[in-house]
């Protein structure tokens, strides 16, 4: 059962923001999201927290500057998701530029593990692969904080390591030459929500300052100081796609990246991905990055090799960028088909479980021997959204192992829950790690039932009945005068995302007409007072009655060159 709850917008804050020049509707929305002053809506780069606040960013800059001056060989070790791909591309582009045009002064290369054969992070196996290229320095992006064995192997081989990561650390840190992670012990960086690409961008800001102080840029070396702002479209893409909390610092990064995209000043790979997805970059919003561009990059890591996605972001050949983007679009369509089949199987299994056990448990553990390892994370997310329960979905790995991907709901910190499982059942989890809302775990197939029991028990202890009741937060009603293209565009231009949710309104409507589209969608004609507007109900499982209370988003419908305001209904109740 879903309950609609209106976010509270303190009237005093609303009036204060209006007095500072914020439009009334936005003042209400921002006050409900905790904004207390217009300065929190200032997204100029000067408002970024300085790199000096990020623990060891200066040391990392020194390590990289020494490597560049020594013409050392640097290999970036990436992760196989969008955050890892963008972090790798940002690192490769910037380091090559700072080393000299086309990498003439220092050799900068990258390596990304294959999800299916190499596992996650800087493993000893990946270090061996990297060692064949004779690197002097390995730089991890979006991984490495848990790579104790990999860093140890690199040290044995005489290879220096720089860890840049944002994942939560375990009880022991790897013995790397330098670690930059806002979540490591002792780091007082005010924003703990930097994505992996954000951490790498900060390291590069510190590196540019270090090289500037050393007099590296100029006629003596022939190296021009790079404009790191040119990488902000990649930073914005990785930040939104990784679903990190959009605090003020992250909103600055996303705003600046989107501003470049809308102005047409984006990297070739991003331009090609917009073209492949049929989206107009001039009208780009954070939702485009999260739901259109990010999934196409992620498809490479899920079904093939993320090197393909990274190559799209680092190439300066327009034809190559567009060819790769088309292939990524094809992979994304294939991913959708696989995901749809898996979700159908999972929902059928849940229906059978519900028939036997009507009271849903506090957590779900799902497995099918035919499921694709690259899509289980999306499957877990979809089931979590439908059932409002923490979910772990498993697929077969090698040597009797199951690889699992989990998604959580507010109230259960997933990595902490796994840590508790590991302490109560030593040896059950062969590997695990992640965040509050998403995590991964590897178990033996023979331990699946035991994991499900332990996971459900821990979730049951940590989640309250209120946590398990699905609540949909809305921004209340929308006055009739706001149902317009101008209002929809106003909302699209703002920065929304995780922890700073896009506006969702609720109102009562009379359903004047409805018709089915493509067998799975409903197009509605709704009336509120004297105002009439079209609405879409996607993937509907039941038709509305004559009068409904709906939670909806205001969007712009574009058809045959014409634009009109349209609602997208996320949830409705018959009245």
CATH code: domain of residue 557 = 2.40.50.460
Interval 437-464: pLDDT, tens: 889 999 999 999 999 999 999 999 999 9
Contact at 8 Å (CB) between 269 and 340? no
CA gap 103, 97 in Å, rounded: 7
Residue 343 belongs to some domain of the structure:
no
- What range defines the domain where residue 393 resides? 359-468
478/460 same-domain check: no
Residue 567: band (very low, low, confident or very high) from pLDDT cuts 50, 70, 90: very high
Average pLDDT over residues 383-395: 93
CA gap 551, 31 in Å, rounded: 20
Q: Which residue has the higher pLDDT, 469 or 511?
A: 511
170/294 same-domain check: yes
Residue 360: band (very low, low, confident or very high) from pLDDT cuts 50, 70, 90: low
**Res 355 pLDDT > 90:** no
Total Cβ atoms within 10 A of residue 469: 11
481/461 same-domain check: no
Interval 17-49: pLDDT, tens: 999 999 999 999 999 999 999 999 999 999 999
Average pLDDT over residues 126-154: 96
Q: What is the pLDDT of residue 371?
A: 95
- What percentage of the chain carries pLDDT values higher than 90? 82
448/485 same-domain check: no
Backbone angles phi, psi at 391, to 5 degrees: -135, 135
Residue 103: band (very low, low, confident or very high) from pLDDT cuts 50, 70, 90: very low
233/282 same-domain check: yes
Backbone angles phi, psi at 70, to 5 degrees: -85, 0
364's enclosing H/E stretch is strand 364-367
Interval 244-280: pLDDT, tens: 999 999 999 999 999 999 999 999 999 999 999 999 9
CA gap 350, 357 in Å, rounded: 10
297/387 same-domain check: no
Q: What is the pLDDT of residue 102?
A: 54
**Res 505 pLDDT > 90:** yes
* Structural domain total, the chain: 3
420/542 same-domain check: no
**Res 281 pLDDT > 50:** yes
Domain stop point among 330, 348, 373: 330
Residue 520: band (very low, low, confident or very high) from pLDDT cuts 50, 70, 90: confident
Looking only at the bridges linking them, the beta strands covering 137-141 and 73-77 are parallel
- Mean predicted lDDT score pLDDT of the chain: 93
568/525 same-domain check: yes
DSSP string, 89-155: HHHHHHHHHHH-GGGSSSEEEEE---TTTT-SSS-HHHHHHHHTT--SEEEEES--TT-HHHHHHHH
**Res 496 pLDDT > 90:** yes
Q: What is the pLDDT of residue 407?
A: 95
Domain stop point among 446, 468, 490: 468
394/514 same-domain check: no
325/363 same-domain check: no
Q: What is the pLDDT of residue 104?
A: 45
Domain stop point among 409, 444, 468: 468
**Res 189 pLDDT > 60:** yes
Residue 229 belongs to some domain of the structure:
yes
**Res 382 pLDDT > 60:** yes
Whole-model pTM?
0.90
Interval 202-255: pLDDT, tens: 999 999 999 999 999 999 899 999 999 999 999 999 999 998 999 999 999 999
Q: What is the pLDDT of residue 357?
A: 52
Contact at 8 Å (CB) between 84 and 142? yes
305/291 same-domain check: yes
**Res 570 pLDDT > 50:** yes
Residue 344 belongs to some domain of the structure:
no
426/552 same-domain check: no
Q: What is the pLDDT of residue 359?
A: 55
For residue 190, give the nearest of 334, 48, 1 by alpha carbon: 48
Alpha helices by DSSP H, 357-502: 376-387, 414-424, 448-462, 465-468, 485-492
> First vs last Cα of the chain: how many Å apart?
15
């Amino acid at each position: 059962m879903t309950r609609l709850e209106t976010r509270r917008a303190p009237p005093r804050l609303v009036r204060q923001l209006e007095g500072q020049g914020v439009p009334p509707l936005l003042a209400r929305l921002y006050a409900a999201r905790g904004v207390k002053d217009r300065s929190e809506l200032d997204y100029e780069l000067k408002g970024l927290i300085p790199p000096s606040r990020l623990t060891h960013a200066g040391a990392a800059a020194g390590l990289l500057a020494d490597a560049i001056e020594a013409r050392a060989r640097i290999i970036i070790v990436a992760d196989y998701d969008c955050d890892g791909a963008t972090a790798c591309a940002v690192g490769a582009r910037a380091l090559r530029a700072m080393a000299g045009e086309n990498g003439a002064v220092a050799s900068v290369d990258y390596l990304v593990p294959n999800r299916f054969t190499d596992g996650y992070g800087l493993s000893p196996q990946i270090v061996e692969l990297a060692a064949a290229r004779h690197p002097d320095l390995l730089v991890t992006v979006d991984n490495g904080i848990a790579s104790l064995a990999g860093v140890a192997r690199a040290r044995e081989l005489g290879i220096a390591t720089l860890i840049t990561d944002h994942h939560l650390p375990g009880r022991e840190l790897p013995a790397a030459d330098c670690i930059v992670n806002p979540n490591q012990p002792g780091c007082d960086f005010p924003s703990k929500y930097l994505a992996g690409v954000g951490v790498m961008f900060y390291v590069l800001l510190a590196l540019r300052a270090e090289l500037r102080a050393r007099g590296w840029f100029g006629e003596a070396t022939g190296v021009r100081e790079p404009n790191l702002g040119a990488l902000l479209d990649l930073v914005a893409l990785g930040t939104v796609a990784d679903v990190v909390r959009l605090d003020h610092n992250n909103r600055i990064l996303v705003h600046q990246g989107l501003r470049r995209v809308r102005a047409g000043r984006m990297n070739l790979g991003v331009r090609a991905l917009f073209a492949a997805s049929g989206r107009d970059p001039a009208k780009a919003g954070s939702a485009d990055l999260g739901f259109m561009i990010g999934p196409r990059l992620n498809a490479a890591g899920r079904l093939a090799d993320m090197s393909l996605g990274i190559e799209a972001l680092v190439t300066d050949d327009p034809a190559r960028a567009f060819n790769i983007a088309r292939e990524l679009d094809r992979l994304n369509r294939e991913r959708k088909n696989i995901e749809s089949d898996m979700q159908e199987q999972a929902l059928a299994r849940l229906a059978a479980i519900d028939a036997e056990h009507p009271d849903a448990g506090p957590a779900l553990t799902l497995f099918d021997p035919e499921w694709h390892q690259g899509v289980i994370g999306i499957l877990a997310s979809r089931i979590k959204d439908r059932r409002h329960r923490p979910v772990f979905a498993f697929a077969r790995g090698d040597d009797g192992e199951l690889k699992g991907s989990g998604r959580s709901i507010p109230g259960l910190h997933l990595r902490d829950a796994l840590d508790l499982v590991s302490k109560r059942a030593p040896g059950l989890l062969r590997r695990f790690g992640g965040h509050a809302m998403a995590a991964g775990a590897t178990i033996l197939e023979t331990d699946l039932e035991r994991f499900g029991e332990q996971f459900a028990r821990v979730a049951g202890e940590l989640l309250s009945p209120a946590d398990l009741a699905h609540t949909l937060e809305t921004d209340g009603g929308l006055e009739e005068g706001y149902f317009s293209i101008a209002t929809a565009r106003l909302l699209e231009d703002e920065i929304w995302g995780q922890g700073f949710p896009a506006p969702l309104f609720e109102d009562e409507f009379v359903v004047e007409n409805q018709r089915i589209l493509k067998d799975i969608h409903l197009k509605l004609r709704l009336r509120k007072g004297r105002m009439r507007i079209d609405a879409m109900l996607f993937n509907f499982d039941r038709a509305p009655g004559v009068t409904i209370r709906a939670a909806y988003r205001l969007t712009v419908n574009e058809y045959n060159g014409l634009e009109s305001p349209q609602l997208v209904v996320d949830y409705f109740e018959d009245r």
